[in-house]
Amino acid sequence: MHRRHFPSLSILGLLLALAVQCGTPSSSNAEASWDIWPDVLYVPTPPEVVEEMLRLADVGPGDVVYDLGSGDGRIVISAARDRGARGVGVDIDPQLIRLSERNAQREGVADRVRFVEEDLFRIDFSEAGVVTLYLLPDLNLRLRPELFRQLRPGTRVVSHAFHMEDWRPDEEARVGRHDIFFWVIPANVSGRWSWQMPEQFEDEGVELELEQTFQQVSGFLRSANGVHGLSWAALRGDRLMLVFDEGVGADAKPVIFEGRLDGEQIRGSFVREGGEPQPWRAVREAGSLRPLETGW
């Protein structure tokens, strides 16, 4: 939103005085007026920070970038002008919407960007491949569940200045005194998974139990050879990597599983140390999916 400061009491007092002079509005009109009051005031993001935000998100020609609280439109305009993307800016201030449209015309990208005057908590941004933010910490947290509800796994989210508390960023960057935080919306891989190992391995039935908090994954694997704790995991969008150790102590050997979530299946490959990759397909047991913790 490129805005960080609440309106001063003097401004609020002036507005209230004007309201009294102009007559008291009806209760419905008064509610509507306060309902669209901006949460924060406009502060532009420096160009070098915009550039780094777009770099972190790896914005390219196939992307649709939504800037929630778009100010003068500079992020979506830069995404279109410099990286060939399409963009949508969302802001509640009609003057900033008009300014953004003029800026897009001047930069020659009006055919690839549009600007919507709307409350960012009411907008449908589900088509986004990238979402950019410059809000306040409490607004980030209020928006967090909506990001998880609307966005597909793999969608990239970049925030200037403010993080999202216990949703730890996948990457961080710093430009001068400006912090930038980057996340990838994770798929939900929690639950109980089962599959059959290839015939050349002695193990027959294998069961995988996974727990998940945002992109953090933990769990264990149970087979005829016993229970193997998960020693390392990485989840990036819908792509999952799991590492288990077979054996104990100096005899422990890593087994690496890689796969992509496809509905209620994970398809990929696994490899034991010194061996060749083998196909891996797991199916999630009905009723074992757990909801992700996403915020307020």
Q: Is the pLDDT of residue 208 over 70?
A: yes
State residue 195's pLDDT score. 81
The domain over range 191-284 is classified in CATH as 2.40.128: yes
If one compares 57 and 22, the residue with the highest pLDDT of the two is: 57
State residue 198's pLDDT score. 59
What percentage of the chain exceeds 70 in pLDDT? 82
Q: Which CATH class is domain 47-184?
A: alpha beta
Q: Is the pLDDT of residue 23 over 60?
A: no
* 54-105 tens-digit pLDDT: 999 999 999 999 999 999 999 999 999 999 999 999 999 999 999 999 999 9
205: nearest Cα among 228, 230, 222:
222
If one compares 215 and 42, the residue with the highest pLDDT of the two is: 215
To the nearest whole number, what is the mean pLDDT of the chain?
85
Domain segments of the chain as ranges: 47-184, 191-284
State residue 218's pLDDT score. 94
Of 161-170, 231-240, 275-284, the least confident? 275-284
- What is the pTM for the complete model shown? 0.83
